[in-house]
Amino acid sequence: MASTWAYLFEHPGTDPDADRTVIDRDGQRTLLVPVPSVDQAPEIARRLADEDGVGLIELCGGLGATDAGQVRAAVPDRVPVGHVTFAVDSLLAGAAYAQAAAGESEPQARSAGA
């Protein structure tokens, strides 16, 4: 049986079932699952664990620490939940990207060396 894990990322307007990508090779099954809203991430994670047999969930760094905690609470001790984070020197650029994606005015991103 294949080992199955999922990577969740926020993408407004998507359907987590219809718009997911599945890579199934050499005994590993990877689900790339868009989350239309971070508020829906815990329920989507719960369904992945319960219905898809996911044994590991990884969250995109675009989801915050609070969101990661809520996902973790939705799948208690059944499934480990990882959370990608940004390196310190990428925080300003990551914040600028998040603001632009939210439709806010785009601030000037600086590198840590600037």
Label residue 85 by pLDDT band (50, 70, 90): confident
Specify the pLDDT at position 55: 96
Distance, C-alpha 72 to centroid of its chain: 12
Pick from 84, 13, 6: which is nearest to 49 by CA?
6
| pTM, entire model | 0.82
Specify the pLDDT at position 1: 59
List strands edge to edge, sheet with 3-10: 21-25, 28-35, 3-10, 56-59, 81-83
